[in-house]
Chains A and B, each alone.
Chain A
């Protein structure tokens, strides 16, 4: 990706664009891909979903647009200075920091606004926010498995084995996983797990040791760092990746953002998405086959499923079949529902069976 000075130059270039527009008597504007579901396209080459050709323009033509551009100018200055000083800050800190700017109009009204603006700047400059030294408030999730790595920390290099050197909680993924170097591993595959409870179950049952699995905790919608690291496991260690979530439409979206990239960060799909990742379960099929305890689908579940049917990322035979089956049975089940067959059922029976089916084991 980019270096720090590259990132700084890109930001200054953007400010220079505004400057030139002013000087030419034109209305300053910046053009971005339209960030909606209808404007993401499948990129054949990389196998991920990225933004299409449609664009929107943020123009100073309106009061709203002018305010956005003013904030952009202030944010550019802030980021450039941060890079100069080799400091970093969180998205939330940026939001509060705007309060200190000597201009009411430039201050952010909400954190969503500042988050969006940073994403806008990422897209326009082609620099990731990690390279702007911006990090999210929540850190990345945890990894447990037979892997030895070296992390570049503020306090120097650390060599860590993700089974032997860590506690029950596992290895904490840093905000910028590109500071990690993989040294050695015995892993057979990567298992991304949605909920903390299931991850703890797998660790307690010694699933990572027994099957040489790298268990990655997603913790709901995975942070960028988690997705980036997962992609590096796949690309650099050549490990198969499977995703283990609840059996409901919201969890399929978690799988979707791991495998295909999210709509909001489709500009980073090539950097974050792991198109080879496969869904292990809970599949709607499993609810039927294992007769799992279930809840009925709510209206919003049904809407979400139907909207997924129209989502270009889910338009594959496998997903259409699964989603239609779920709409048909009208049920959803959590990962923990497997416990109805006993605490060891998931590690002894369900996962081995599914992994065999998928040809991973």
Chain B
């Protein structure tokens, strides 16, 4: 955006001149000029977008109220304009809120909530109102009847584009036949060129909201398009969640810091974020300390026979405490120091405090703040040499080997550098590096050797380039990283209290440090009860409802997290039946149950589908990539608290790798079912073809051999069943005894369900059960017949009854019934 800045100096009057032209741009005015960002770039598209925004709102409102949505959409030609009416059976909107919801941009209940919902920014419906107002000059006409109220409220409102405030033109009570709900009527300049997209949108909404009833009337339709519900189950209610520490950005964090009532960082973290308890907060704060304060480098204390005399130094630093207490104190400190592996100055201070308290308890001598501070300084000097001859340190003196008393840090640094670098490094180079590092550590502010990770990296790099220059020994990137890691991992987090929330909120750098600390801390993924997936079952039901196919499959993945926002991907596939076989498959894209109609090519879902090798799953894919061909519909639903779109008009999913991976897995899961269905169908097809051909050939052959041999035509059903690896059911009636024989010629065990309807009462059943149904007897028998085996059912029946057998549990292609 243009930035207006007055120039300082001589050119008087220019600022004033410019200031005259400057005024606040209302948000409504801004959108008036940027309609395309919201999907109102053309009359055709504007109509679809207005329907979409109104229907999304209606669905959100009804679901939130726990009502099964019943939504009515009507488009009428009114002179040069189109009138759009959307009615829902939602909870209605209160009189106070109503003008704002529809008449004020960026007003909504959703923007601040981390919860899956269709609308998010509170822009959509008011943008539609604005669009209608701008193109037709007509106010939006809104009727709302909250539940339980006897009358409805009718408004006419327009948006004042200067102030972004609604202006009520009419406000009166009215009657309405719906017991509760909202109706919005908009008139706008539009055309129906995007009729197909409109139909797609409504149809796809019905697919992905199987619990909703939708009705669409528009001038081009002879009959209204009606979509009935496939389920009475509302989507699971979603819980609002607090933001996840991995999902906030700096600006948002500062805002939260400013707004919170917490005083401490720990309280802030625990109170404002999801998945943060005491322990996680502590981890974040430790990381924050490291980033904000840096760590204190820790050094090896003197060992026995070392000339560094901690006890002596401490004793010298203590005055007037008596010999006994002084000795106990100095030796106590020296002993504890010697027993630790490495030590930072803060740790030393803690030791001194401890020993001072113990000695005070034992001897009655108190060691005051000053004494303790002196003791710490003295001991620290003894251990690290810090504070010694500071004037000789620094890059000015290069006679490193010539110095009489070498800093004790050098030996320590040498050991670490030697350890961290490859064994091929020249000893002199390692020593030079150690000395260069030690000298630079000595130059750090204060004598606690406090340094942040970034500064440590810089320091090591500086030392390395110094060594490279002076000693012609290179420390490459890996070596430097190893050295940094060696020091950093041995450095100690400082015990200082983190700054208070108010202080962090006031400092952008501190807030950035906190954000970094939050991002580097391992934190549990956000909870997923803020999401309402459709569930695989209902994805399938939705497809089943709108597509007359032969096969349906669906898959719902487990929740995953992207940038602190949880998301769930679902995929469904419908195949065959009435779905047109020509051209590429139909791809349905949904985000938070909203169909995405435009910009298919720019969408991450399309990219994923194109990159799957569909030939593996039995679909035709010219060239082995791209959209597959064939009679299939693939639907993909991404539910998230924050769906990443490529633009504000929410037409296409952005290419986020974590989401793309899940989309691929979900689609492949459903596609695997498709594959096994297609394989099975193919083998059944082959079986049918074989059966057809053999069913023709074998009787002819039988006829021919009976002709040649002069014998009657043989019964070939047994042979046929055997050839087809079939299950055959054969009836023999022998006087009063009826027997049904099931032979299984297939290579798997078969669970056969046989119902024999007999017109006389059967008795003496060998197996199964018999039920009398109004003078007909149903003999039911469910034998399990192993491969290559047979089972027999016999019963007795009087007279000459009629039989009617039906066989289930076996595919018809595999069945030969002769009974």
Closest chain-B Cβ to A104's Cβ sits at a distance in Å of: 9
Closest chain-B Cβ to A74's Cβ sits at a distance in Å of: 6
Contact yes or no, B704 A22, CB < 8 A:
no
- Contacting A at CB under 8 A, from B669-702, are 690, 693-694, 696-698, 700-702
Contact yes or no, A22 B716, CB < 8 A:
yes
- Taking CB atoms, residues of chain A closer than 8 Å to B707 are 77
Closest chain-B Cβ to A311's Cβ sits at a distance in Å of: 37
Closest chain-B Cβ to A9's Cβ sits at a distance in Å of: 11
Contact of B401 with A by CB under 8 A: no
- Taking CB atoms, residues of chain B closer than 8 Å to A24 are 718
Of all chain B residues, the one with the shortest Cβ separation from A103 is: B700
- Taking CB atoms, residues of chain B closer than 8 Å to A70 are 697-698, 700-701, 704
- Taking CB atoms, residues of chain B closer than 8 Å to A60 are 694, 697-698, 701, 719, 723
- Contacting B at CB under 8 A, from A42-85, are 60-63, 66-67, 69-70, 73-74, 76-77, 80
Q: Among B694, B702, B704, B719, which residue has its beta carbon within 8 angstroms of that of A63?
A: B694
Contact of B714 with A by CB under 8 A: yes
Q: How far is the CA of A28 from the CA of B723 in the complex (A)?
A: 10
Of all chain B residues, the one with the shortest Cβ separation from A81 is: B708
Q: How far is the CA of A69 from the CA of B700 in the complex (A)?
A: 11
Contact yes or no, A12 B694, CB < 8 A:
no
Contact yes or no, A77 B696, CB < 8 A:
no
- Taking CB atoms, residues of chain A closer than 8 Å to B350 are none
- Chain B interface, number of residues (Cβ within 8 angstroms): 24
Most A CB within 10 A of own CB, among B700, B704, B717: B704
Contact yes or no, B718 A25, CB < 8 A:
yes
- Taking CB atoms, residues of chain B closer than 8 Å to A66 are 693-694, 697-698, 701, 723
Q: Among A11, A61, A106, which residue has its beta carbon within 8 angstroms of that of B700?
A: A106
Q: Among A19, A25, A62, A80, which residue has its beta carbon within 8 angstroms of that of B722?
A: A25
Contact yes or no, A76 B708, CB < 8 A:
yes
Contact yes or no, B693 A15, CB < 8 A:
no
Q: How far is the CA of A63 from the CA of B698 in the complex (A)?
A: 10
Contact of B706 with A by CB under 8 A: yes
Q: How far is the CA of A25 from the CA of B741 in the complex (A)?
A: 14
A73 and B708 in contact, given A19-B714, A66-B701, A105-B697 (Cβ under 8 angstroms): yes
Contact of B748 with A by CB under 8 A: no
- Taking CB atoms, residues of chain A closer than 8 Å to B722 are 25-27
Contact of A18 with B by CB under 8 A: yes
- Taking CB atoms, residues of chain A closer than 8 Å to B709 are 12, 15-16, 19
Q: How far is the CA of A245 from the CA of B211 in the complex (A)?
A: 90
Contact yes or no, A77 B708, CB < 8 A:
yes
- Taking CB atoms, residues of chain A closer than 8 Å to B702 are 19, 22
Q: Among B690, B704, B719, which residue has its beta carbon within 8 angstroms of that of A21?
A: B719
Of all chain B residues, the one with the shortest Cβ separation from A17 is: B705
Q: How far is the CA of A18 from the CA of B704 in the complex (A)?
A: 10
Contact of B711 with A by CB under 8 A: yes
Contact of A1 with B by CB under 8 A: no
Q: How far is the CA of A16 from the CA of B707 in the complex (A)?
A: 10
Contact yes or no, B715 A22, CB < 8 A:
yes
Most B CB within 10 A of own CB, among A11, A28, A76, A80: A28
Of all chain A residues, the one with the shortest Cβ separation from B686 is: A63
Q: Among A11, A23, A67, which residue has its beta carbon within 8 angstroms of that of B697?
A: A67
- Contacting B at CB under 8 A, from A316-331, are none
Of all chain B residues, the one with the shortest Cβ separation from A70 is: B701
Q: How far is the CA of A281 from the CA of B706 in the complex (A)?
A: 55
- Taking CB atoms, residues of chain B closer than 8 Å to A27 are 719, 722-723
Contact yes or no, B701 A28, CB < 8 A:
yes
Contact yes or no, A22 B719, CB < 8 A:
yes
- Contacting A at CB under 8 A, from B223-260, are none
- Taking CB atoms, residues of chain A closer than 8 Å to B715 are 22-23, 25
Q: How far is the CA of A74 from the CA of B708 in the complex (A)?
A: 9
- Taking CB atoms, residues of chain B closer than 8 Å to A19 are 702, 705-706, 709, 711, 714
Most B CB within 10 A of own CB, among A18, A22, A61, A77: A22
Most A CB within 10 A of own CB, among B708, B711, B714: B708
Contact yes or no, B690 A63, CB < 8 A:
yes
Extra contacts besides A66-B693, A73-B701, A103-B700 (4): CB < 8 Å: A15-B709, A19-B709, A22-B719, A62-B690
Interface residues of chain B, those whose CB is within 8 Å of chain A, are 690, 693-694, 696-698, 700-702, 704-709, 711, 714-719, 722-723
Closest 8 CB pairs of A and B: A25-B718, A73-B704, A22-B714, A15-B708, A23-B714, A70-B701, A15-B705, A66-B697
For this complex, 18 residue pairs linking A to B, each with C-beta atoms less than 8 Å apart, are A11-B708, A16-B711, A19-B702, A19-B711, A19-B714, A22-B705, A22-B715, A23-B715, A25-B717, A26-B719, A28-B719, A63-B693, A63-B697, A66-B698, A69-B701, A70-B698, A73-B704, A80-B708
